[in-house]
Amino acid sequence: MSATEIDFYELLGVSRDADGATIKSAYRKLAMKHHPDRNPGCTESEAKFKAVSAAYDCLKDPQKRAAYDRFGHAAFQNGGPGGGHPGADFGDIGDIFETIFGSAFGGGGRAQARRGADLRYDMQVDLEDAFHGKSTELEIEVSQNCDTCHGSGATPGTQARTCNLCNGRGQVRAKQGFFVVERPCPNCHGSGQVITSPCRDCRGEGRVDRAQKLEVDIPPGVDTGTRIRLSGKGEAGPRGAPPGDLYIFVHVKPHQIFQREGTTLATRVPISFTKAALGGSIEIPNIDGDEVTIEIPAGIQSGKQLRQRGAGMPVLQGRGRGDLVVEIAVETPTKLSKEQRALLEEFRETETGDECPESRGFFDKLKTALGG
């Protein structure tokens, strides 16, 4: 059906005095009905879609419509007053877009092989492993190339043929007004090839699911949220396409002694009240297995934090270490010998109140606040 053989008004099913809104509504209904996406492979619908698009292109423009009303189709032939042919094929516009912009607007190259999907694996590690790093083995089930057809998807001894609908491009075109849009070929599903004799083991997919063992290196300094990428260890692509990647997301387990914030380690250490009063030093085992010596100043109070530089977590993929923060908890003795009790009694008798300035200051403020 050619657009030049049927009256544009008749083609759209509207009267010659129809307004723009009526013409637009009629066009939308017909375009929806005959759109190539709704009628794949139907040449009659495609021709009808082109015809109604050409008719609407003419009648929506006041100048073109006036020329058509006066001269009919002759207005657009041989350089007539309307200029150009409203029913012309718009493929040349698509070719211009393709030349300038390439495949983004319908490039004519062959279909690109679809890469396999990326996969995610969540791994839990101890804080000690996060400090030292480690090599570990994991086993996951993932799509891999079929051993029978070696990823081609075709029965051994046969091969896929070029799709005759898209000529191997993997895309088919549909014209919409002045624009040319592309969609995956319904015959080959975008691959550009059709397998007439699919492999019976993978059913033409070129890949099968099976267990895969992988060696994973956990670098020192990893933290919860660290992502490790194993290139090419994801899902195999269909019919021999490149595989995706495997991403390992690290989760560091809580530790009984140490809390972590970035490269800083923190812990709470109880000390005796005599150590707090007289000062001294303590040694605590660190996450790396070494002993860390912490100097305790005389008169330290509970809650005081002491920082040991360079004794924390290593910097991921960097140099140096964070800090170790020790929070002091002064412990009151609960079991005293007679000698110890006697010494404390003697100390209490000699107390003046200046030994604990914070306590004295608090009670002085409390008396003032209560008017005493």
Report the SS3 class of residue 6: coil
In this prediction, residue 363 carries a pLDDT of 66
- What lies within 8 Å, CB to CB, of 229 at 6+ separation is 245, 246, 247, 248
In this prediction, residue 76 carries a pLDDT of 67
List the structure tokens of 162.
Answer: 């070029």
Task: Please name which of 76, 72, 69, 97 lies closest in space to residue 175, comparing C-alpha atoms.
Answer: 97
User: Interior CA angle at 99 toward 97 and 104, to 5°?
Assistant: 60
Question: What's the pTM value of the predicted model, to 2 decimals?
Answer: 0.58
**pLDDT for residue 35 is more than 50:** yes
As annotated, the binding site includes 146, 149, 163, 166, 185, 188, 199, 202
Give tens-digit pLDDT for 66-105.
888 877 777 666 544 444 444 433 333 333 333 333 433 3
In this prediction, residue 327 carries a pLDDT of 95
User: What percent of the chain has a predicted confidence (pLDDT) above 90?
Assistant: 34
Give tens-digit pLDDT for 104-121.
334 445 555 578 889 999
List the structure tokens of 358.
Answer: 């914070």
As annotated, the binding site for Zn(2+) includes 146, 149, 163, 166, 185, 188, 199, 202
**pLDDT for residue 186 is more than 90:** no
